[in-house]
Structure 1
Amino acid sequence: MPMREKKEINVQVGRQIRKAREDAGLTQERFAELIGISPQNVSCVERGLAGVSLTVLRRMCEILHVSSDTLLMGDLGNNDVDVIAERLRQLPPEQFRVVQEVINRLLELTNLSQ
């Protein structure tokens, strides 16, 4: 059986999928079960030996609670945004409204100074 050639895009996407899966605390077996593909297929994807269909990619995003950009392009340095968003989600509604008002005022001031 001939060895499959790895495409660089598949290697990069596979690396991102593996990272997101591990961050979610899922084994390859459980992840495969949730997506509806075989564990061997998950392994091939994560090692860059195979690509994924749009249907499978979408399901992966749903299961991992990440955007397709995260799996296709990587983190892109948006980790700070994710941390801030998570902290905002944890605020009680009244505190969230206060923070939202402060941010809106800062944005207004920023726009005035440009």
Structure 2
Amino acid sequence: MPRALKNINLEVGARIKRQRLAQKLTREQLASLSGYSANFIQEVERGRSGLSSESIRAFSIALKISCDYLLFGDMSEGYGYLLSKLDAIPQAKRKYVIEIIEAAIQCANTQE
């Protein structure tokens, strides 16, 4: 009889798979980035294996998403999206984007 899958494992696995596919990474590429095997990643994505705090950290770093997003979902999804977009900007030009973001935040805070 197959063991019951925990909801948290299914949810976290689905988030990892969704982010991996969004970034057009194979399991092998994610394995190289995270330090875990492609077989382990497959088991995690299917919800058959849970993650330790160490592996959550490794996957969040490898996928450039927050640990909060991995554990809780939509709560921090925007953060990971913004980080991935910021990483695509050449280092020399990032300061301009950060200045624009800071100005937008300041403007939004003054309009409340």
Fold equivalence (TM over 0.5): yes
RMSD between aligned alpha carbons? 3.2
Whether 1:107 aligns to 2:109 is yes
Give the secondary-structure state (helix, strand or coil) at the position aligned to 2:106: helix
Counterpart amino acid of residue 7 in structure 1:
K
Amino-acid identity (%)? 28
* Cα distance per residue 1:12-68 (max 9 Å; x no partner): 111011111111211112212322222111111000011011111111111100001
CA deviations 1:52-107 (Å, max 9, x no partner) are 11111111111100001111111238549946x958x9677568646644642442
Q: Tell me the matched-pair count.
A: 107
Structure 2 CA distance for partners of 1:51 and 1:108, relative to 1, 3 Å? same
Q: 1 CA distance for matches of 2:53 and 2:108?
A: 39
Task: Tell whether 2:46 aligns with 1:47.
Answer: yes
Secondary structure class of the residue paired with 2:75 = coil
Unaligned runs of 5+ in 2: none
CA distance in 2, matches of 1:99, 1:30: 31
Which residue matches 2:32? 33
Contact 2:65 2:79 in 1 (8 A): no
- Identify if the C-alpha distance between structure 1 residues 47 and 107 changes in structure 2 by more than 3 Å, giving closer, same or farther: same
Q: Which amino acid aligns with 1:50?
A: S
Structure 1 60/78 Cα, relative in aligned 2: closer, same or farther at 3 Å?
closer
Moved more, 41-50 or 22-31: 22-31
Tell me: CA distance 1:77–1:66, structure 2 relative to 1, closer, same or farther (3 Å): closer
TM-score by length of 2: 0.72
